[in-house]
């Protein structure tokens, strides 16, 4: 019986998005942003030498057709070398370049509304919202109230947070309301309850996610922990995970997939670092039941390297991922497919610290070599549904 493994390399875009000029980092449009393309170039130019060196080595992804997908996405001549899988480049239609928009559309549901974004002003949040958050936190106010990078804002405001007890609230070019608070002095459970309590109000405003961003340490040494939790807006319709579940299949979530889909259509979830998740994926390739879907997200490309504009780190993580995924592809059963894709871009050579609007690769291992060509994000859901022989629209 067939099984499917859908693996999202979070933010590994390949450029070429037709509407990139309508998405921005600060005042600069995303036109020309190309996460993988620019990393390959930086490596070849000797500009990504920290903890690695030389040209980017991702032979397993290249064998599946990553080079072809990259050329197709940006309109270059496509290399004629043989691939071992099917490959294509996917274009998003949702009006967002964030994780929920990308994942929902990959799962068959383009986002049917415009997200609410907070302006890049100080304050960034309306008075009533700041008051609501302070009241829910039991504090006299909030800190931050601006667009920020999460690692920079805890450096800046961590000490004041310890002194005042006020939560640090910030946003980005994404439709997010993020709260950073110290795990020990503020309390992790208190932070999670605060995010959960205010999430319905933010969701009503069409803010995609409230994100808890716990950290530890003391002045000059603040550090985020892996206890991040996203409270995402509920999905307005069934998606791939529901289709599989309704057809009697088991759905395993690996990483933040459970949060992104608010556990919709998901039977079990495991979270952890990318290294832990990779082990879990390997285990599921050995043990996942027939007719199941394993849906995995590897977030560290985005959270540790893309937003931090760390080109060497991003290249190291790509090389690590490639080396790990090779043996897993070889371990697939004859009737499995593994589809490797991404949810948006986050070009580490680009200005700013936000995502970049890009096309994404679609690489399919376990199927005959073929060109999928330029497809849509939601074709990914259709490909998986067809492989698992489940109805892609069971309610109609």
Ligand X SMILES: O=P(O)(O)O[C@H]1O[C@H](CO)[C@@H](O)[C@H]1O
Residue ranges for the known binding site are 10, 302, 307, 343-344, 355
Nearer to ligand X (CB atom), residue 180 or residue 337: 180
Cα gap 150→148, rounded to integer Å: 6
Alpha carbon 40 to its chain centroid, in Å, reads 20
Nearer to Mn ion (CB atom), residue 354 or residue 379: 354
Nearer to Mn ion (CB atom), residue 300 or residue 302: 302
Figure out which of the listed residues 35, 91, 99, 264 binds ligand X, where binding follows CB under 6 A: 99
Cα gap 214→216, rounded to integer Å: 7
In contact, 245 and 265? CB cutoff 8 Å: yes
Residue of this chain nearest to ligand X (CB atom): 150
343 is in the binding site of which of ligand X, Mn ion, none (Cβ under 5 to 8 A by kind)? Mn ion
Nearer to ligand X (CB atom), residue 228 or residue 316: 228
In the block, residue with structure tokens 């690489």: 363
Tokens of 278: 């990779």
Longest alpha-carbon distance in the chain: 64
Figure out which of the listed residues 36, 62, 70, 176 binds ligand X, where binding follows CB under 6 A: 176
| Shortest distance, position 186 Cβ to ligand X, whole Å | 16
In contact, 355 and 345? CB cutoff 8 Å: yes
Nearer to Mn ion (CB atom), residue 76 or residue 120: 120
DSSP 150: H
Bridge partners, residue 123, by sequence: none
Please provide the DSSP assignment of 247-259 as one string: TT--EEEESTHHH
Cα gap 2→330, rounded to integer Å: 16
Q: Which of residues 170-229 bind Mn ion (CB under 5 A)?
A: none
92 is in the binding site of which of ligand X, Mn ion, none (Cβ under 5 to 8 A by kind)? none
Q: Of 40-48, 52-60, 172-180, 199-207, which part binds ligand X (CB under 6 A)?
A: 172-180
Nearer to ligand X (CB atom), residue 43 or residue 154: 154
Q: Which of residues 55-114 bind Mn ion (CB under 5 A)?
A: 99
| Shortest distance, position 175 Cβ to ligand X, whole Å | 8
Cα gap 120→205, rounded to integer Å: 17
172 is in the binding site of which of ligand X, Mn ion, none (Cβ under 5 to 8 A by kind)? ligand X
| Shortest distance, position 211 Cβ to ligand X, whole Å | 6
Q: Which of residues 178-207 bind ligand X (CB under 6 A)?
A: 178
Binding residues for Mn(2+), by number, are 10, 302, 307, 343-344, 355
176 is in the binding site of which of ligand X, Mn ion, none (Cβ under 5 to 8 A by kind)? ligand X
Nearer to ligand X (CB atom), residue 38 or residue 344: 344
DSSP 120: S
Q: Which of 17, 4, 10 is nearest to 95 (CA)?
A: 17
Relative to beta strand 360-365, strand 86-91 is antiparallel
Figure out which of the listed residues 230, 302, 322, 336 binds Mn ion, where binding follows CB under 5 A: 302
Q: Which of 261, 267, 309 is nearest to 102 (CA)?
A: 261
Instruction: Based on the shown chain and the rule CB under 6 A, indicate whether residue 304 belongs to the binding site for ligand X.
Output: no
In the block, residue with structure tokens 């022989």: 389
Please provide the DSSP assignment of 14-74 as one string: -S--TTGGG-EETTEE-TT--HHHHHHHHHHTT---TTS-SS---HHHHHHTHHHHHHHHH
Nearer to Mn ion (CB atom), residue 99 or residue 312: 99
Q: Which of residues 111-170 bind ligand X (CB under 6 A)?
A: 149-150
Q: How far is CA 75 from CA 17, 72, 242, 319, 373, in A?
A: 11, 5, 35, 25, 11
Q: Which of residues 208-237 bind ligand X (CB under 6 A)?
A: 211, 213
Q: Which of residues 363-382 bind ligand X (CB under 6 A)?
A: none
In contact, 73 and 233? CB cutoff 8 Å: no
Under rule CB under 6 A, how many of the chain's residues touch ligand X? 11
Q: Which of residues 10-29 bind Mn ion (CB under 5 A)?
A: 10
Residues that bind Mn ion (CB under 5 A): 10, 99, 302, 343
* Residue ranges in contact with ligand X by CB under 6 A: 99, 149-150, 172, 174, 176, 178, 211, 213, 303, 307
């Amino acid at each position: 019986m067939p099984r499917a493994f859908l693996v999202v390399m979070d933010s590994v875009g390949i450029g070429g998005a037709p509407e990139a000029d309508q998405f921005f980092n600060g005042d600069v449009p995303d036109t020309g942003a190309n996460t993988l393309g620019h990393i390959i170039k930086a490596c070849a130019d000797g500009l990504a030498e920290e903890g690695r060196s030389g040209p980017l080595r991702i032979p397993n992804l290249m064998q599946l057709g990553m080079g072809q997908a990259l050329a197709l996405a940006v309109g270059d001549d496509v290399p004629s070398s043989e691939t071992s899988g099917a490959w294509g480049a996917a274009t998003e239609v949702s009006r967002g370049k964030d994780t929920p928009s990308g994942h929902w559309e990959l799962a068959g549901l383009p986002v049917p509304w415009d997200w609410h974004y907070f302006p890049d002003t100080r304050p960034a949040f309306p008075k009533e919202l700041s008051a609501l958050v302070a009241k829910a936190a039991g504090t006299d106010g909030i800190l931050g109230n601006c667009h920020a990078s999460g690692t920079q804002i805890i450096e800046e405001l961590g000490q004041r947070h310890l002194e005042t007890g006020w939560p640090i609230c910030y946003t980005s070019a994404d439709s997010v309301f993020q709260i950073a608070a110290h795990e020990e002095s503020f309390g992790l459970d208190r932070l999670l309850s605060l995010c959960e309590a205010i999430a319905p109000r933010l969701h009503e405003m069409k803010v995609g996610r409230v994100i808890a961003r716990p950290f530890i340490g003391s002045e000059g040494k603040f550090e985020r922990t892996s206890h991040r939790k996203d409270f995402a807006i509920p999905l307005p319709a069934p998606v791939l995970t529901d289709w599989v579940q309704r057809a009697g299949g088991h759905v395993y979530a690996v990483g933040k997939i459970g949060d992104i889909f608010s556990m919709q259509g998901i039977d079990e979830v495991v979270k952890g670092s990318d290294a832990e998740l990779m082990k879990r994926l390997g285990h599921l390739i050995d043990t996942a039941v027939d007719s199941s879907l394993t849906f995995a997200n590897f977030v560290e490309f985005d959270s540790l390297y893309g937003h931090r504009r760390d080109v060497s780190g991003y290249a190291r993580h790509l090389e690590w991922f490639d080396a790990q995924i090779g043996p897993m592809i070889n371990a697939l059963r004859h009737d499995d497919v593994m589809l490797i894709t991404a949810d948006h871009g986050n070009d580490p050579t680009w200005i700013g610290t936000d995502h970049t609007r890009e096309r994404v690769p679609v690489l399919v291992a376990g199927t005959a070599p073929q060109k999928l060509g330029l497809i849509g994000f939601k074709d990914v859901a259709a490909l998986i549904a067809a492989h698992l022989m489940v109805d892609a629209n069971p309610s109609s």
